[in-house]
Amino acid sequence: MNAAHVWIIYRKELRDALRDRRTLISSIVVPTLLMPLLLFGVGRLMQRAVAEAREEVPTVAVLGGEGAPALLARLSGDARVRLVPVPADWREAIAAKRLRAVLEVPARLEERLRAGEASPAVRIFHYQGELKSENGARVTERIVAEHRERVVTERLAARGLGPEAVRPFEVRRENVAPPEKVGGNLFGGLVPYFIILLCFTGAIYPAMDITAGEKERGTMETLLCSPVARLDLVLGKFLLVLTGSLASMFFVVASMAGSALLGGALFLGSSGAAAAGALPPGAAAAGMGSLPTIDPLGLAGVFAMVLPVAVLFSAVALTVSLFAKSYKEAQSYLGPLIVVVLVPGMIAALPGTELTARTALIPLLNLSLVCKEMLSGSWPWGYIALIFGSSSLYAAGALALAVRMFNREDVLFRS
């Protein structure tokens, strides 16, 4: 190997790549914009839709309300719902979103309650999965439940008992896991998924450009006439592809961290918490502290573990695209590979997929699993060593294959 030749080739390829719009878009622009777009675009839209649904005063109609005047009075006096007369086609009206929910009260409900009859059922009709209808049903249910509680309290009082007779103690849940553990669990599946995706897409464009693209443009033969050994040629080109892959990964993580910080402040600090009404006002101010965070040490671990995978991806992308005659042909080989690469990440996200000596040897799946562990602050060193070792071995194999491919005349001069 001639390190000077490798360096000359790498520098030239880097300069060439920095002038190629397609490579720049895939390695820098897409990874940088992906997260903010997802979080602020899609996330914001979803949040707005939820808030809008919650802010709306749902229209609710009552069927058979004459048997429950007290409940009816309570409903009509409550600002959280707007009572409307029951339309004849009330089922269609709900499905057509003209009416949010219908409450059906059994005949002579209050009379039967006073007589101490066994609990007759009150039914709420709604449109399952439709945000505003679900909200209408939820609010109606809450008001009816409050009414039921009032009935219970009255019955208890008549027997000389307080509410604690039926509710002797309260149940509360509290989180004790530190924010980074919560974050690790929350983002653990997501972060490796994005990293693997971007690591691969970051590699394929430069790989296609400097192999199949060069063949297509006729510069491959020009380069092959120079006194550079094929090994140096592969290594120089490989380093460029690796740069693309790592740059992509770096930009996606940086933008993810930036978006999380900004998004957290935005969502918890203002509209989010207030609209949800889930947090008391004080919690919004202290919002940053309770946000799930990502442990920087875990993130550093993820980077280290991804390195051999980036090498593997770069070598595979280089080998596959060198085999192709043209840029288009290379795209048709590498496009479907993007989906293949994502499958292990999806499997890792399935509940019950655990890190074992066997899964630690499956490429990509092992990375996704160990990343989840590291991001939630646990460091299974034996597995980490096994995964890093096996990934490095796969990477070395792929690189050797790329070198072999560059030595095959039928591949280089395929026409």
**Measured from the CB of residue 229, what is the shortest distance to another protein in angstroms?**
6
Torsion of CA 195, 48, 286, 291, to 10 degrees: -20
Which of 37, 84, 229, 257 touches another protein (CB under 8 A)? 229
Residue 166 tokens read as 């039926």
Q: Which stretch binds another protein (CB under 8 A): 8-16, 41-49, 125-133, 306-314?
A: 8-16
**Measured from the CB of residue 5, what is the shortest distance to another protein in angstroms?**
7
Binding of another protein by 409 (CB under 8 A): yes
Count residues contacting another protein (CB under 8 A)?
Answer: 22
**Measured from the CB of residue 13, what is the shortest distance to another protein in angstroms?**
10
Burial class (CB in 10 A: 0-12, 13-18, 19+), 266: middle
**Which C-beta is closer to another protein: that of 81 or that of 234?**
234
CA separation for the pair 318, 333 (Å, rounded):
12
Binding of another protein by 403 (CB under 8 A): no
> How many CB atoms neighbour CB 335 within 10 A?
10
CA separation for the pair 56, 219 (Å, rounded):
64
**Which C-beta is closer to another protein: that of 362 or that of 412?**
412
**Measured from the CB of residue 16, what is the shortest distance to another protein in angstroms?**
5
**Measured from the CB of residue 219, what is the shortest distance to another protein in angstroms?**
5
> How many CB atoms neighbour CB 410 within 10 A?
8
Residue 377 tokens read as 């602050």
x/- map, 199-228, another protein, by CB under 8 A: ------------------xxx-xx-xxxxx
> How many CB atoms neighbour CB 310 within 10 A?
26
CA separation for the pair 80, 55 (Å, rounded):
9
Side chain identity at residue 139, one-letter code: V
Side chain identity at residue 338, one-letter code: I
**Which C-beta is closer to another protein: that of 354 or that of 410?**
410
CA separation for the pair 266, 276 (Å, rounded):
14
Q: Which stretch binds another protein (CB under 8 A): 15-23, 156-164, 239-247, 256-264?
A: 15-23
The binding site for another protein (CB under 8 A) comprises: 5, 8-9, 12, 15-16, 19-20, 217-219, 221-222, 224-229, 409-410, 413
